[in-house]
Amino acid sequence: MKPGLRVGHDLVLDGGAGAGPDGPPAGYGLGMPVLEISDLIGAWDPVTGERAPIVKREVIARLREAGHRRAVRIVERMPASGELLEPAAVDRLFVRVHTELQRLGEELHMARRFAELLAPLVAAARRAGASPLRIVDVGCGIGYVTRALAASGELGGDVELVGVDFNPVLVAEAARLAKDEGLTCRFVRGDAFDLTEPATLYISSGILHHFPAESLAGFFQAQDRPGTAGFVHYDIAATRLAPLGARVFHRARMREPLGRHDGVASAKRAHGDPVLLDAASQTTGMRVFLFEPIRHTNPFCASMRPVVGIRPELVEDVRRALGRRARGLVGADGVREGAGGVREAAGRVREAAGRVRDGADGGPEGAGR
C-alpha cells in the first residue's frame, strides 16, 4: 500500500495467480478486482497538481462491485461535504496510515536493508567518477527510508538524498519531519513515470504492485538514463502465503482499518518474479537481478525483496563489495538465465496460470504466484 501514487491498477483474481488456498477470502469472487482504498480516495492532476474531487458514493460503488465489504464500511465512515469526500480528513488519514507504515518499515529493517545494497552501489559509482551522487526515492510517502539514510550518514556526506511522491500532502509531511529532525534531505512532488529528478541511483519501497504489469517496463525505463548507475526497488514477494502473512502482520501492527485492508490487498496484487524481471530487463543499459537475502532475524523480512539494476561495467565491483552476500543476486542476465530466458519463464508462468484456469493442473497447487 502506498497512497498518493498517480497510477494504480485493478488486479483481477481469475482463479489463477493469487487464487487457491492462500487466495481471496470470502467476499472476493472470481473475476473481481483487488482494490486498495488509498488508490481511490485521493487524486491529483499530473500536469497542474490540482486536486480532483472524489465522489464518496462512486468509491463505495467500486468497492462494493469488487466484493470488498469491509472496505465499503471503512469508506462509509469517512467524512464528506455533500457528495464529496472531505479533503482535509483524507489528508489526515494518509498521514496517519503512512506513519504506521513507517513503524512497519522500522520493524522490517527496511532502511538497513536498503543501505546494505546501496553502499556498494554508491561506492562503485564513486570509483567510476560519478558526480554528483544523488539517490532519488520514488513514491517516498513521508520519507522514512530517505530520512533514515540521511540520519545514518553511512552512504557518505557527498550523497544527496531526494524523496519524490505524487501526493503533495505526503511530500509536505516528509519535508516537515526532515526539518524537525535536522536532516538535509529534500522532498519534491513528482511522477514515477516522468521523473524530473536525475539520480545516480533510484530506489522505492512498496510501489511496484500499484502498477499494472504492462506499465512496469515504462517505470524501469524512465530510470535508464545517462548518469544513472542503477536502481533498487523493494516490493512484496508474490508468494502463496503473502496474503495470509499480510493479514496477520497488518492486523497485529496497524490500527487504521484502511491500512489493514490495503496491506492485504497489496500482497494480493504483488507481481511475480518473472514479471518483474521481464519488465526490468526492458531497460537497455542495466543488468537486472533479484536480491534474495540468505537470512534475516525477522522472518517477515523475507516478504519484501528488491529488483536491482546495475550498469554492466559496475557489476563485478558491486559483487566484490557485497562479498558473500553477492550469492543472493539472482537475475535476468547470466546468474540464473539470460534475459530471453526470463521472458520465456514469464511465458511459462502465464501458460501455467492458464492451465489452472482451465482445470488442466487438477488443483490449487499449480495456482500460486
The C-alpha cell that represents 31 in the structure block: 473475476
Supply the DSSP symbol for 194. B
Task: Check pLDDT > 70 for residue 357.
Answer: no
| Position 288 confidence tier, pLDDT thresholds 50, 70, 90 | very high
> What CA–CA distance (Å, rounded) separates 363 from 61?
33
Residue indicated by cell numbers 535476468: 332
The answer to whether residue 25 scores a pLDDT higher than 70 is: no
Nearest-angstrom CA–CA distance, 98 and 104: 10
Per-residue pLDDT band at 368 (split at 50, 70, 90): very low
pLDDT confidence tier of residue 293, bands split at 50, 70 and 90: low
Tell me what the pLDDT averaged over the chain comes to: 81
- Listed by start position, the domains of the chain span 11-94, 100-366
What is residue 321's predicted lDDT score, i.e. its pLDDT? Answer: 93
Share of the chain above pLDDT 70, in %: 78
What is the mean pLDDT of the segment spanning 76-100?
96
CA distances from 176 to 19, 185, 204, 361 (A): 42, 11, 20, 54
Tens digit of pLDDT for each residue in 39-78?
999 999 988 889 999 999 999 999 999 999 999 999 999 9
Q: Which residues are within 8 A (CB) of 317 and not within 5 positions of it... i.e. 6 or more apart?
A: 120, 123, 124, 127, 128
Q: What is the pLDDT of residue 304?
A: 85
pLDDT band at 287 (very low <50, low <70, confident <90, very high): very high
Position 191 scores a pLDDT of 92
Give the mean pLDDT of 111-137.
Answer: 95
Burial class (CB in 10 A: 0-12, 13-18, 19+), 128: middle
CA–CA separation, 187 and 147 (whole Å): 10
Q: Give residue 237's pLDDT.
A: 86
Per 3-state DSSP, the chain is made up of helix, strand and coil in percentages (nearest 5) of: 45, 15, 35
Which among 92, 83, 94, 103 has a CA at the least distance from the CA of 5? 94
What is the rounded distance in angstroms from the CA atom of residue 19 to the CA atom of residue 15? 5
- 77-87 per-position pLDDT tens digit: 999 999 999 99
**Domain 100-366 bears CATH identifier 3.40.50.150:** yes
Position with higher pLDDT, 172 vs 300: 172
**pTM for the whole structure:** 0.81
* Cross-strand partners of 165: 189
Predicted local distance difference test score (pLDDT) of residue 369: 30
pLDDT at 332 (0 to 100): 62
Decide: residue 252, CB within 10 A, 0-12 exposed, 13-18 middle, 19+ buried: exposed
194-253 pLDDT tens trace: 888 899 999 999 999 999 999 999 999 999 999 999 999 999 888 777 777 777 777 777
CB 185 within 8 A of CB 175: no
